[in-house]
Amino acid sequence: MRDTHLIIAGTSECPFHSSLGESMKVLETALPGVKLIAQAPIDDERGFFSRVYCRETFSAHGLKEVTAQVSSSFNARAGTVRGLHFQYPPAAETKYVSCVRGAIFDVVVDLRPESPAYLKHIAVELTAAARRGVYIPQRCAHGFMTLEDDTEVSYMIGQSYVPDLQAGLYYADQQFAIAWPRDATIISRRDAGWPQFSEVRDIIGKRMRCDECSLEN
């Protein structure tokens, strides 16, 4: 006989958080303006429901919108490297990066000459299970290494792609001393060919400086 038992998910509690900060937690990092965004899934018998992005929450924390483009990258093998990427002003990008499948070692490098953290970086592990993301303000470089096979990464971006302003830095540049968790197994020819910081120091110093800009968004 067909099982007709039906589970009715509890409705005595609010179906979703109504106040800012409950559905998403915005956490500080060591780089000015770079935030760790932690989702707060609501669980019931069906599974869970989680808010991935909230314009009001971002605005309440002084963060820019990141809805000009939404992109995804699929990476078949662990050890795949993408980055370090950025765009020069006036098309500098704000990004909100999360891992929706698998796991990544995610890196942000501060390229804002007026920042007290200039040339410093943070690295954080993002996994589909942990449901965290990184908010990256304009004029920072971003890259990652996959930690698992079949990893997918989501990017919400506040600026359209402008090929003439796209740039990058070599991911293993000793200037940044990034402690990548393993040797790269796959990297594109383009990413492997990005310059060392020492080769473009003056260009970055000139084109990325913005003394009137806020470091917080």
Active site residues: 85, 155
Distance CA 31, CA 132 (A): 17
ω into residue 90 within 30 of 0, thus cis? yes
Report the 10 Å Cβ neighbour count for 199: 13
Distance CA 77, CA 204 (A): 32
DSSP 165: G
Sequence-distant contacts of 189-192: CB under 8 A, at least 24 apart: 191/81, 191/82, 191/83
Distance CA 196, CA 213 (A): 26
Q: Which residues contact 61 (CB under 8 A, 6 or more apart)?
A: 26, 35
Backbone angles phi, psi at 120, to 5 degrees: -85, 165
Q: Which residues contact 207 (CB under 8 A, 6 or more apart)?
A: 88, 89
